[in-house]
């Protein structure tokens, strides 16, 4: 599902949305007038000012097109998009969560843009955005923006512990976190059910959450590689006092970190703004680094969330809709988006445009190793029951890791094959 990153919270404009939510309004306002294209953008994805700049520029460049940008609510969006794709009056361009593309593509109502990948510089796309958009060899989703987790750390606590800089490898990360974990101070606050973080550790060790072969899915948390990733998670989680039976929202980890006695949390960079709001004394004292990998010089694998753009097959303006996608995914508006919203651009070569922002630069470095959840229309159902969380708690509370992993893998496979 789409990850609603708080990285953009401080950047969002408070102005009223450009238009109210609504259905498609494709067509022209008057005979001989410009062609009206309906574009659905999710609430809080980007600022109104950004959309206003894009609309003005696009319409100047395409005199025969008028954009009707409609802001959509996240609640209930899955059903709304599915209904739109099945209708004869669909919007022309829709923003969707990167891991939702497979679900929508399964309906048969999304246009394959595979023939445009070269023109869109697809060889430069972030893997974590490009891969979920490609289903059965067809490119339905075009990467728009990305965001992923990094480590936010308290610089004062690092200094007091005699640590001069962020770790370069996972082994070094464990060492310095152990050094930071002293007395009432927590080396890291890592809740037991932060499964997106676990996914990165599993991928880094060569494992997968699930794999498909011959049309059949199999959960793979019980592979040696995936078990190794869980073992690293267990070692890291033990160097703090995070609960073993809840995730980062219960209690909100930003509130825990804001108390000042936690050295590190794993979060999107925008989490630092929430921490500083809770404790202004920490303003300017927080640093960022990518989740370390097994070897120096290469960040660890991490889950990449974000959005793709799709064109419904029912759109009556396929060529014009593609021009909207091409512009939003192109260098000019990717650069504007990254600087406005502190997102990671869809291309690895554009990471330089945010290098002056410490948090976003760390996020961009990690995004190069970004991955997405298994590309199945049924993955949303896995997340709904989430046997991965139950598996993590079982291991952290002393259950046999192999048995717990096997049970969770069987549950994942059953759901994906349902």
DSSP character string of 91-149:
-SEEEEEGGGHHHHHTTT-B---GGGTTTTTGGGB-HHHHTTTEETTEE--EEEEEEE-
Q: Give the pLDDT of residue 8.
A: 38
β-strands 93-97, 35-42 pairing: parallel
The secondary structure of 77-92 as a DSSP string is HHHHHHHHHHSSS--S
Name the average pLDDT for the chain.
Answer: 90
pLDDT in tens, 307-366: 999 999 999 999 999 999 999 999 999 999 988 888 889 999 998 888 888 998 999 889
Please give the model's pTM, rounded to 2 decimal places. 0.80
Asked if residues 274 and 164 have their Cβ atoms less than 8 Å apart, the reply is no
Integer Cα distance of 218 and 6 in angstroms: 33
Mean pLDDT of 98-105: 90
CA 302/CA 308 separation, integer angstroms: 18
Query: Closest by alpha carbon to 79, among 113, 59, 107?
Result: 107
Q: HSE, CB side, 13 Å, CA atoms: give it for residue 345.
A: 26
Three-state DSSP class for 181?
A: coil
Supply the DSSP symbol for 34. Answer: P
Helix (H) or strand (E) holding 48: helix 48-61
Whether 157 and 180 have beta carbons less than 8 Å apart is answered as yes
Mean pLDDT of 22-33: 49
Task: Delineate the domains of the chain, giving CATH numbers in brackets.
Answer: 6-148+303-361 (3.40.190.10), 150-302+374-416 (3.40.190.10)
Q: Is the pLDDT of residue 282 over 90?
A: yes
């Amino acid at each position: 599902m789409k990850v609603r990153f708080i990285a953009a919270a401080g950047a969002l404009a408070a102005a009223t949305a450009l238009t109210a939510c609504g259905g498609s309004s494709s067509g022209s306002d008057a005979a001989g007038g410009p062609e009206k294209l309906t574009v659905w953008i999710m609430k809080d994805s980007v600022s109104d000012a950004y959309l206003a700049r894009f609309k003005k520029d696009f319409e100047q460049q395409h005199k025969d097109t008028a954009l009707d940008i409609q802001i959509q609510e996240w609640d209930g969006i899955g059903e709304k998009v599915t209904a739109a794709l099945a209708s004869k009056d669909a919007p022309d361009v829709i923003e969707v969560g990167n891991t939702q593309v497979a679900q929508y593509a399964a309906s048969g109502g999304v246009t394959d843009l595979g023939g445009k990948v070269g023109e869109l510089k697809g060889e430069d796309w972030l893997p974590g955005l490009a891969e979920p958009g490609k289903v059965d060899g067809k490119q339905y989703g075009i990467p728009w923006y990305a965001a992923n987790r990094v480590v936010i750390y308290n610089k004062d606590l690092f200094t007091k512990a005699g640590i001069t800089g962020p770790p370069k490898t996972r082994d070094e990360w464990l060492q310095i976190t152990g050094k930071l974990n002293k007395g009432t101070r927590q080396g890291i606050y890592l809740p037991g059910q932060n499964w997106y973080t676990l996914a990165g550790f599993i991928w880094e060790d060569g494992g997968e959450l699930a794999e498909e072969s011959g049309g059949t899915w199999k959960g793979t948390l019980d592979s040696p590689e995936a078990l190794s990733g869980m073992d690293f998670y267990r070692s890291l989680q033990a160097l703090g006092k995070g609960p073993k039976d809840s995730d980062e929202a219960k209690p909100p980890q930003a509130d825990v970190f804001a108390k000042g006695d936690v050295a590190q949390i794993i979060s999107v960079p925008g989490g630092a703004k929430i921490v500083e709001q809770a404790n202004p004394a920490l303003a300017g004292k927080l640093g960022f680094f990518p989740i370390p990998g097994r070897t120096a010089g290469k960040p660890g694998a991490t889950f990449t969330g974000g959005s793709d753009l799709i064109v419904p097959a029912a759109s009556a303006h396929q060529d014009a809709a593609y021009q909207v996608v091409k512009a939003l995914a192109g260098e000019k508006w990717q650069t504007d988006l990254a600087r406005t919203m502190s997102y990671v651009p869809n291309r690895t070569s554009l990471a330089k445009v945010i290098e002056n922002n410490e948090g976003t630069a760390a996020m961009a470095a990690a995004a190069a190793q970004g991955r997405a959840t298994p590309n199945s229309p049924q993955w949303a159902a896995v997340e709904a029951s989430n046997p991965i969380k139950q598996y993590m708690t079982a291991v952290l509370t002393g259950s046999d890791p192999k048995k717990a992993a096997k049970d969770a893998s069987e549950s994942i496979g059953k759901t994906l094959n349902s």
